[in-house]
Amino acid sequence: MLNPREMTEELIKEYIDDKREEFIDFLVNLIQTDSYNPPGNELNLAKIIKNYLDKDGIKNEIFKFGNNRANLVAYLNNNFKFKNLIFNGHMDVVPSGNVSEWKYHPLSGEIKRNKYIYGRGSTDMKGGLAAMIISLKVLKSLNIKLDGNLILHSVADEETIGDEGTEWIIKNISNSIDCNFTVIGEPTGFKPLPKSIIFGERGHLQIRIIANGISSHSSFPAMGKNAIYMINDLINNIDKIDDYIPKVNPPITLDELKQLVSVTFPDEQAFIKFYNEQPLIQNFIKVFTTLTKSVTIIKGGIKDNVIPNICEITMDFRLLPLQKTEDIISAIRRIINECGYKMKDQIEGENDIFFDYDILLDKEASYWKNWRDSEEIKLFYNIVNKIYLQKPYYFLFPACSDAVYYRNSNYCEKTILFGPGNASLAHASNESIELNDFINSIKVYALFAYNFLKKKENIL
């Protein structure tokens, strides 16, 4: 015999299963709609979402900005006095790249074998966004009375890490509403592992470094100073950064991370065997315990017979909590000096040989410190386990997300990431999402909202 809470949960799951094709069609519609960023075009998607919510009388409003850009905020009801739960998803997607590399057009929303939907943004993150929107529709359509409110932040400007999306909404629209918990629908599948629940992420720093040398004819290179060689000197010594920045402890040790993942395996020995046989998984877990750095762009040279006087690189750093941008900059300056060069601001008088830099992106690390003690995250975990029929695991996110705006502004430290899709397919050609993963995520969002926003004594 089911109790009232269990009966309502079964009703929610059955409704989602019955409406499966309708919900898939809605996701296909979102994928087929151009919201590439740059340039943005999120207004295209916001109009479709608004129309979808309007049909069920769900209060929502579009906030336009720029050229064909917009955010959208929706509310399940008008009650903000008990608990407020925010679902966040971004409408913009990265450009498709070379269309010839795709099996199906990136805006096709092609369904194959009744198992996958292909298209740009299917995983990152129109799948998660659609599932969150649909969860509002499910709770509204079933007329499930909640003591709290479910709020949707459907945002712009995430893929270019701008300040006109989530950050703008928190400061200008939701600043007067207390937030008790936030879920961001980024893809949190990392195959071959099961689903993960994310409670923190590393910081993101991008620096452009410019070497200024002296040009000359390549037949007499000693007359010049080759800027490419200058950059090469820096790259060959860049790992010294690890020794030159202050040591910080990662929020989670390597052993703790391994333990978090191991709970999804039948026993510890099964995990150890899997871990030892999977170098990719070993590296995947280790990156969360250290600073990582990569040269991602290099530009230099103007002609095949000219010694280049300018060469520049873009470096991408992923920082642990408590690691600071100024320490990275200081270490780079030290390495440049040790290579025998000066920074532009160290030069006295005229000198054509120097290094300079500018910061392209600086986004802090973000971490929910007391996640282990949270009853909310335990509730979420149990729902994921029940729906996916496989234990999820708690983990950190390799990239950055809009969670930083909720956590680091003290608006809502209790922010997690969970969403459908395999994160390795984000931004890739032939991006796709599994239909069952998408449908399961709707169930997780709707069931969590129901249980979280209902007072225990009022569970019906």
Measuring CA to CA, how many Å separate 46 from each of 64, 129, 156, 243? 9, 11, 9, 48
Q: Is the dihedral of CA 368, 369, 374, 379 positive or negative?
A: positive
The set of residues, in sequence order, having a beta carbon less than 8 Å from that of 377 and lying 6+ positions away, is 197, 199, 371, 394, 414, 416
361: three-class secondary structure by DSSP: strand
* pLDDT recorded at residue 86: 99
Looking at the structure, tell me whether residues 123 and 212 fall in a common domain: no
In a domain, 440, yes or no: yes
Q: Provide block-wise average pLDDT over 10 residues at a time, the chain (460 residues).
A: 89 98 99 97 98 98 98 97 97 97 97 96 99 98 96 97 95 97 98 94 97 96 96 98 96 92 92 92 90 97 97 98 96 98 89 94 94 96 98 91 96 98 96 98 99 74
Residue pair 60/53 in contact by the 8 Å Cβ criterion = yes
Q: Which residue has the tokens 């979280």?
A: 452
What is the pTM assigned to this prediction? 0.92
Domain that residue 410 falls in: 4-200+365-458
Looking at the structure, tell me whether residues 87 and 148 fall in a common domain: yes
Looking at the structure, tell me whether residues 17 and 115 fall in a common domain: yes
How many helices and strands, by DSSP H and E, does the chain display?
A: 14, 18
Looking at the structure, tell me whether residues 171 and 300 fall in a common domain: no
* pLDDT recorded at residue 460: 47
Last residue of a domain, one of 316, 335, 363: 363
Residue pair 85/149 in contact by the 8 Å Cβ criterion = yes
The residues with which 356 forms a beta bridge, in sequence order, are 210
Look at residues 314, 169, 319 and name the one whose alpha carbon lies nearest to residue 231: 314
Helices (H), 142-244: 166-172, 227-237, 241-244
Looking at the structure, tell me whether residues 303 and 452 fall in a common domain: no
Last residue of a domain, one of 343, 363, 383: 363
Looking at the structure, tell me whether residues 395 and 356 fall in a common domain: no
In a domain, 285, yes or no: no
Q: How many domains does the chain have?
A: 2
Looking at the structure, tell me whether residues 129 and 183 fall in a common domain: yes
Measured CA to CA, the distance from residue 326 to residue 452 in angstroms comes to 41
Looking at the structure, tell me whether residues 124 and 211 fall in a common domain: no
* pLDDT recorded at residue 157: 97
Identify the CATH number of the domain in which residue 229 sits.
3.30.70.360
Q: Is the dihedral of CA 118, 121, 126, 127 positive or negative?
A: positive
In a domain, 258, yes or no: no
* pLDDT recorded at residue 458: 56
Lookup: tokens for 18: 């019955």
Measured CA to CA, the distance from residue 399 to residue 436 in angstroms comes to 25
**What's phi and psi for 4, nearest 5 deg?**
-55, -40
Measuring CA to CA, how many Å separate 45 from each of 21, 91, 132, 137, 441? 20, 7, 14, 17, 20
Looking at the structure, tell me whether residues 184 and 61 fall in a common domain: yes
Lookup: tokens for 288: 């969360």
Measuring CA to CA, how many Å separate 15 from each of 18, 140, 165? 5, 12, 32
Identify the CATH number of the domain in which residue 73 sits.
3.40.630.10
Residue pair 358/208 in contact by the 8 Å Cβ criterion = yes
In a domain, 35, yes or no: yes
Looking at the structure, tell me whether residues 191 and 235 fall in a common domain: no
Looking at the structure, tell me whether residues 333 and 379 fall in a common domain: no
